[in-house]
Amino acid sequence: MQKTNNQMLIIFGASGDLTARKLIPAIYSLYKGKHLPENFVVLGTSRSALTDGEFRKKVVQESTYLSNKLEKEDSDFINTFSEKIFYEDIGDNYETNYGRLSARIGDLNRKYETNDNYIFYLSTPPSLYEIIAKNLCDAGLTNEDEGWKRIIVEKPFGYSLSTAKELNTGLQKYFHENQIYRIDHYLGKETVQNLLVTRFANSIFEPLWNRNAIHHIEITNAETVGVEKRGGYYDKSGALRDMFQSHLLQIVSLIVMEPPINSSAEEIRNEKVKALKSLRIMTDEKILSENTIKGQYIASKLNGERLKGYREEEGVDPNSKTETFAAVKFFVDNWRWKDVPFYVRTAKRMPTKVTEVVIHFKTPHHQIFKDQNLGNKDNKLIIRIQPDEGILIKFGVKVPGQGFKVERANLDFYYSSLADSNIMQAYERLLLDCMQGDATLYARADEVEAAWAFVDPILDYWENGKEVKTYGYSAGVWGPKNSDDLIEGSLGWRNPGEQLIDDDGFCEIC
């Protein structure tokens, strides 16, 4: 097991939802799993005036996000955990002098012997990243003469290519690139990491992982929820920025990338950047109109309940054209993937919450069983990222009886079958990696910029193009009616159910 140095985690924006919902529960699980170093403290800071005690109450003792876990524990165990958590009010705004914050960090560092090793976690709007980085630098808190210093930034990392570049240069004035950790919680998901292992730890997939054997690739990310209370943010963002540019292009890069030389962070990230740079950027309006579909959910009645349309949501402009459904078809310009279409869609208010990758293999080029409509029964490799995490291979088998009737059977693996292993939650895994200085699962500056370079022209077309349509879809259906038209040969999307094996063609061979 890698060693975790003594250290302090300093969270900016600590009174916000992310700290209570994700960060403190992740730290708690690390504490429970004995992954924290001997000397470890958390210092929260934000503009709210809170004492250590009030902050501890908010994020630990009275936190609804921890209550399930805490009710099984004795009070000494909970108190020892709470006592690792502190709070310092930053003042009226983040542009202030960080002298007081710096003094508090110094005190805690001496008292708890955290060896001058600090992680600064910015859970604030991106507009504050550079300001905070500068103030930390001015207060001498970025200096690595004694102890290391790292900074974690949350998404959205930029609003466009130019703003992402500005953010990168802004941060790089005060931190070296190897100190900057851009978090993408999808990379913390076991099943996303398993894409690398499936591809590169097996000899059976990689020889087929190319244009010779693969017909097309489909990625679906669907959520049942609407925008919930985040209408204000979401309306300025939309599905393409919120999910596609970050999480989904990260998944794409792991599918498209070439085998890295080894498993080091830099080698893996070098290959991911190359992959993202090889996505064919679409700039022509006709191509953009043929290869992208934009949709927005409208009100509907589901199981007797009326669900609001997107435009009725709190914080959303009643005339908004922001997309809650985005589907993009694209190609990858390199030797391996020439002419293989990739179809990626993401949406809110879908029938089920699911994220999966489907590798569709080509129909056998010489067909012996001609009358079997094998086209519908081609081999598929389904990698289920969530829920019901696992892998499924669909292949043809003979139906018992006369003749050669072919049916599709499933070969499946479920993560849940690895009963003994404790699967770390995404934030838990990513925080521990940063604590140990492992940036493999964090996005590098050039990776983020390559992703924006691909997304920018689509956004520009959707926002400024001529005759761009935003299609309505009722909450609870698989997107706009025309979304299947995107898939060549009218094969349509695989519209999966909650279970990995759910689909129309499923058949159990007894």
Give CA–CA dist 349/480, Å, rounded: 12
Q: 133 phi and psi, to 5 degrees?
A: -60, -40
Q: What is the contact mask toward ligand BG6 in residues 385 to 424, using x (rule: CB under 6 A)?
A: ----------------------------------------
Tokens standing for 482?
Answer: 């025309």
CB of 242 to ligand BG6, least distance (A): 5
- Nearest approach, Cβ of 375 to ligand BG6 (angstroms)? 32
Residue 192 CB, nearest distance to ligand BG6 (Å)?
10
Each residue 152-171 as x (binds ligand BG6 by CB under 6 A) or -, in order, gives --------------------
Site pattern 357..376 for ligand BG6 (x: CB under 6 A): --------------------
Q: Which is nearer to ligand BG6, 242 or 313 (CB)?
A: 242
Give the DSSP letter string of 238-263: HHIIIIIIIIIHHHHHHHHPPPPSSS
For β-strands 7-12 and 118-122, DSSP reports them as parallel
Quote the CA–CA distance of 420 and 430 in Å, as a whole number: 21
Q: Smaller CB distance to ligand BG6: residue 179 or 237?
A: 237
| Number of residues that make up the chain | 510
Residue among 86 and 478 whose Cβ is closer to ligand BG6? 478
How many other C-beta atoms lie within 10 A of the C-beta of residue 372? 17
What is the closest distance, in whole angstroms, from the C-beta atom of residue 223 to ligand BG6 in the complex? 5
Least separation in angstroms between CB 502 and ligand BG6: 18
Q: Where are the beta strands (DSSP E) in 33-96?
A: 40-46, 85-89
Distance between CA 129 and CA 444 in Å, rounded?
16
Q: Which is nearer to ligand BG6, 87 or 325 (CB)?
A: 325
The token pair at 29 is 């699980």
| Contacts for 245 with CB less than 8 Å, ≥ 6 apart | 451, 452, 455
Spatial CB neighbours of 381, under 8 Å, sequence gap ≥ 6: 205, 358, 359, 361, 391, 392, 393, 394
**Which residue's beta carbon is nearest to the bound ligand BG6?**
242
Q: Do the beta carbons of residue 413 and residue 424 sit within 8 Å?
A: no
Pick from 245, 214, 191: which is nearest to 354 by CA? 191
DSSP 3-state of 107: helix
- Please state the closest distance from residue 186 (CB atom) to ligand BG6, in A: 7
Catalogue the E-assigned strands of 129-272.
149-153, 180-182, 214-222
Shortest gap between Cβ of 79 and ligand BG6 (angstroms)? 31
356: contact with ligand BG6 by CB under 6 A: no
Annotation marks residue 247 as catalytic: yes
From 185, 247, 360, 366, the catalytic residue: 247
Under the criterion CB under 6 A, does residue 223 sit at the interface with ligand BG6? yes
Tell me the CA distances in angstroms from 417 to 33, 231, 354, 361, one per residue in order.
Answer: 21, 38, 19, 27
By beta-carbon proximity to ligand BG6, the closer residue of 240 and 282 is: 240
Size of the site for ligand BG6 (CB under 6 A): 3
Say how many CA atoms lie within 13 Å of 317 toward its Cβ: 11
Q: Choose between 243 and 430: whose C-beta lies nearer to ligand BG6.
A: 243
CA 375 distance to own-chain centroid: 33
Contact indicator for 152, 122 with CB cutoff of 8 Å:
yes
Between residues 243 and 443, which has the closer beta carbon with respect to ligand BG6? 243
Q: Nearer Cβ to ligand BG6, position 235 or 242? A: 242
- Smallest distance from the beta carbon of 239 to ligand BG6, in angstroms? 8
**Residues 17-56 vs ligand BG6: string with x where CB under 6 A?**
----------------------------------------
Q: Is 242 in the site for ligand BG6 (CB under 6 A)?
A: yes
Minimum CB–partner distance for residue 243 and ligand BG6 (Å):
6
Window 248 to 287, contacts with ligand BG6 (CB under 6 A):
none
Q: Which is nearer to ligand BG6, 271 or 323 (CB)?
A: 323
Instruction: From residue 219, give the alpha-carbon distance in Å to each of 12, 59, 195, 250, 327.
Output: 34, 36, 13, 12, 10
C-alpha span between 356 and 496 (Å, rounded): 9
Among positions 61-80, residues that touch ligand BG6 (CB under 6 A) are: none
Q: Give the residue numbers annotated as catalytic, written as ranges.
A: 247
State the residues that interact with ligand BG6 by CB under 6 A: 223, 242-243
